[in-house]
């Protein structure tokens, strides 16, 4: 049974057949009349589908998970660390989003993003691959794996990523940002990253996005903690996005337009 359904049109209120071209035309108009140093983009934020760590968290409850189980790699029945895979449900959730992309492309003339950014964790990359399966075309810019798009880091083994070599071999066709280390030297078994530090990482990702004025429509596939750090960085409050969920917003460097 599915616990969450992606909202129609990714939550866009406009139901007209040309809803997405109208929105992107509006963004172009904003950019054409924007003050110097100000630019606008449409950013789609997608959370990964259910991973085995999510199942384990439900099994033991938040308190026991944070206090004990999240520090282990598994319990003899479920393996969640390091860097867990999607569950069958998680893959189905990503396929649901893939179906909605195809529906919006055919019904609402939704274009594909000019650029896609991804977390380096397997569950997010696998979600992105399924989400855009059959949609990517020759000549499109490859998705870019960014270290700063990862989940709140440290202590929890599910948030320790695999090696650069593993990622490049498994996720063929994805670019990896310069300076990306072979081993995960950021994960600390004893120190959990603060929410404020996640916000700071999100600001770095925002700067990366806005350093490319040629990209008006951008997607980011990541995690609940990072997505809320991203929203906080643009002045938006906490949003409980379920696994497999997507939200889209129009953003500038300084504020959020919903």
Model confidence at 175, pLDDT cuts 50, 70, 90, reads very high
CB distance 66 to 159 below 8 Å? no
CA 191 remoteness from chain centre? 24
Q: Is the pLDDT of residue 113 over 50?
A: yes
Residue 234: pLDDT over 70: yes
Residues of the chain with pLDDT > 70, as a percent, come to: 90
Alpha-carbon span 184 to 192, nearest angstrom: 15
pLDDT at residue number 6: 80
Q: Catalytic pick from 104, 147, 151, 152? A: 151
Rounded alpha-carbon distances, angstroms, from residue 93 to 1, 30, 90, 128, 227: 11, 34, 5, 11, 18
Q: Is 146 in contact with 120 (CB distance < 8 Å)? A: yes
Q: Catalytic residue among 48, 215, 223, 249, which?
A: 48
Read off the pLDDT of residues 179-196 as tens digits, 9 standing for 90 and up: 999 999 999 999 999 999
Entry pTM:
0.91
Active-site residue 177, yes or no? no
215 is catalytic: no
Residues 6+ apart with CB under 8 A from 91: 49, 126, 130
pLDDT score, position 241:
58
Give buried/exposed letters for 187-219 (b at 16+ CB in 10 A, else e): beeeebbeeeebbebbbebbebbbeeeebbbbb
State pLDDT tens for residues 57-111: 999 999 999 999 999 999 999 999 999 999 999 999 999 999 999 999 999 899 9
User: Where residue 1 falls among pLDDT bands split at 50, 70, 90?
Assistant: very low
Average pLDDT, the chain: 91
- Tokens representing 56? 């384990």
Domains of the chain: 17-30+38-234 (3.40.50.1240)
């Amino acid at each position: 049974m599915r616990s969450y359904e992606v909202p129609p049109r990714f939550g866009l209120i406009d139901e007209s057949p040309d809803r997405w071209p109208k929105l992107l035309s509006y963004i172009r108009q904003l950019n054409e009349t924007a003050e110097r140093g100000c630019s606008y983009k449409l950013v789609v934020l997608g959370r990964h589908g259910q991973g085995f760590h999510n199942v384990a968290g439900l099994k033991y409850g938040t308190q026991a998970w944070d206090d004990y189980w999240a520090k282990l790699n598994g319990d003899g029945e479920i393996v969640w660390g390091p860097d867990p895979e999607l569950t069958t449900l998680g893959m189905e959730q990503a396929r649901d989003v893939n179906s909605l992309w195809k529906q919006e492309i055919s019904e609402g003339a939704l274009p594909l993003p000019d650029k896609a950014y991804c977390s380096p964790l397997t569950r997010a990359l696998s979600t992105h691959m399924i989400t855009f399966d059959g949609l990517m075309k020759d000549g499109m810019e490859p998705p870019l794996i960014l270290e700063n798009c990862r989940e709140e880091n440290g202590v929890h083994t599910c948030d320790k990523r695999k090696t650069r070599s593993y990622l490049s071999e498994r996720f063929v066709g994805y670019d990896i940002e310069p300076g990306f280390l072979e081993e995960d030297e950021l994960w600390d078994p004893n120190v959990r990253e603060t929410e404020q530090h996640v916000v700071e990482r999100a600001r770095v990702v925002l700067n990366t996005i806005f350093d490319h004025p040629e990209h008006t429509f951008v997607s980011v596939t990541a995690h609940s903690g990072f997505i809320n750090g991203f929203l906080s960085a643009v002045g938006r409050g906490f949003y409980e996005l379920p696994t497999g969920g997507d939200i889209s917003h129009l953003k500038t460097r300084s504020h959020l337009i919903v």
